[in-house]
Structure 1
Amino acid sequence: MKERILIVEDEERLADLHRDYLRQAGYETDWLASGETAVEWVKENRPNLVLLDLMLPGKDGLEICKEVRRFSDVPIIMVTARVEEIDRLIGLELGADDYICKPFSPREVVARVKTVLRRSSQPSREDTQTLLSLDEESYQATLVGEKLDLTALEFKLLSILANKPGRIYSRDQLMDLLYSDQRIVCDRTIDSHIKKLRKKISAAAKGVELIHSIYGVGYKYEPI
């Protein structure tokens, strides 16, 4: 079955260009010209990926991304001509998987779609990661055969990141996931936990870097 791409783009000419190239690459495509119906469409049709323009009539791309993330992990690629850094950061914090900035070539769009779909369709963590093993029941992490002496909080943090390789999490997102009791903590607390995690990972496997900093945004996990 062909993978299905939803294109949310108010410029018909550009949408047609996306559709032509994506179809040639073997994808099935759907198009919405307004943001008003995008969230319900995703909920009802469950596409494999959403190519989402930032500036849309009715409802903008950031709001759509935010609403979709409340019920779905469908990969979202934001398309924008607004290259200000704040838009990039807000988009990532809301859960966008990638960005494409106008002007761009249709081939770049296809390449980005392939990359994001390949990343999102990877098998489960247990199947893909030979270096790291996580036992959710015992809160035990093993790296290249060496047990990591992690606190429960450090284990949970590592598990959150490792469950979504390549996904960028902001500090606020990680705090919300770690502290379900809504306690008030400083966002630098996350930095402290990450620093300790990296130190323990380095002690078990010298030279191995699994947790990466994204300047001004947050952190992501990349398996080796």
Structure 2
Amino acid sequence: MQTAPTTPLDPNQAQILLIEDDAILSGELVDIFEDHGIHARAIGDWPAALKLLEVHQPDLILLDQRLGAVDTLMMLPALRNLTAAPILFLTGNRNEADRVIGLELGADDFLLKPIAGRELVARVRAHLRRAMRRPAHVTGEWRMLETERRLLRPDGTPVPLTAAEFTLLAIMAAQPGVPIDRDTLTQQVLRRPFRAEDRALDNLVHQIRRKLGRRGAGEVISAVRNQGYAFSGFPEA
């Protein structure tokens, strides 16, 4: 189960987890952050990073796209299950399609190598300030923050939804109880026509249900025979 990041009192007091397998670059980046008053912890192994996140929650993650043979872009869903902290990719990959996929999977930003130290610190601080503006506590109701594209539980903790999951949930929640057909949802969320063999929409619904849990005996999003899906309501507080 994911744990909400500890909100820093000040961006300069934040704790960053740097996941980078280049020891020289990693050391340089840690020094840059420390020189600007930001504590950075470095780790260079993907399995070790996941294990660390099970017991320690940083305020922000700076992630190399390539850790040896591991393309961490494809590992984002597993990472998002462990943390709601902003995730910034540090990459030399200039492929626009990969960046789009990464944002869809839950990344918050992509920083292209090489990047000047001052710009890197400024980008990190900007994301930390954005995270600090999220409500620290909300009582009794779920909240969808459209401008930030985030969903908050009644206790104020964020649900780590991908961009596509948030879009689908926002469309459904705007029309509670009204069935919306798969073709309409596929067009609006995935930007492509629906095909009978296409399971992408069903997979998104499954992930939303898993992350939000059940509401009584029903689902947050219910399948309506021959009509599509309908929003049943958020889980009870």
Shorter-chain TM-score bucket reads 0.5 to 0.7
1:72 matched to which residue of 2? 83
The TM-score normalised by the length of structure 1 is 0.61
Q: In the alignment, does 2:131 pair up with 1:120?
A: yes
* Cα offset, 1:103, TM superposition: 1.5
* Cα offset, 1:41, TM superposition: 1.3
| 1:58-106 deviations in Å (ceiling 9; x for gaps) | 5332134221212421111101101101110111011111110012112
2:96 corresponds to which letter in structure 1? E
Q: In the alignment, does 2:97 pair up with 1:86?
A: yes
Q: In the aligned structure 2, how far is the partner of 1:12 from the partner of 1:121?
A: 30
2:46 matched to which residue of 1? 35
The TM-score normalised by the length of structure 2 is 0.58
2:182 matched to which residue of 1? 184
2:106 matched to which residue of 1? 95
> Which blocks of at least 5 consecutive residues in structure 2 are unaligned?
1-7, 151-159, 174-178, 191-237
Question: 1:34·1:58 contact (CA, 8 Å) conserved in 2?
Answer: no
2:63 matched to which residue of 1? 52
Q: 1:174 aligns with which of 167, 176, 185?
A: 167
Question: 1:17·1:106 contact (CA, 8 Å) conserved in 2?
Answer: no
Q: In the aligned structure 2, how far is the partner of 1:45 from the partner of 1:182?
A: 40
* Cα offset, 1:46, TM superposition: 0.3
Percent identity at matched positions? Answer: 27
Number of aligned residue pairs: give it.
164
Q: In the aligned structure 2, how far is the partner of 1:126 from the partner of 1:179?
A: 25
1:148 matched to which residue of 2? none
* Cα offset, 1:161, TM superposition: 1.9
* Cα offset, 1:184, TM superposition: 2.5
Q: In the alignment, does 2:171 pair up with 1:161?
A: no
Matches within 5 A, 1:3-42: 3-42=14-53
2:89 corresponds to which letter in structure 1? M
1:175 corresponds to which letter in structure 2? L
Question: 1:53·1:61 contact (CA, 8 Å) conserved in 2?
Answer: yes
Q: In the aligned structure 2, how far is the partner of 1:160 from the partner of 1:183?
A: 25
1:198 matched to which residue of 2? none
Three-state SS of the structure 2 residue aligned to 1:63 is helix
RMSD across aligned positions (CA): 3.6
* Cα offset, 1:4, TM superposition: 0.9
Three-state SS of the structure 1 residue aligned to 2:76 is helix
Three-state SS of the structure 1 residue aligned to 2:120 is helix
Matches within 5 A, 1:192-207: none
2:51 corresponds to which letter in structure 1? E
Three-state SS of the structure 1 residue aligned to 2:42 is strand
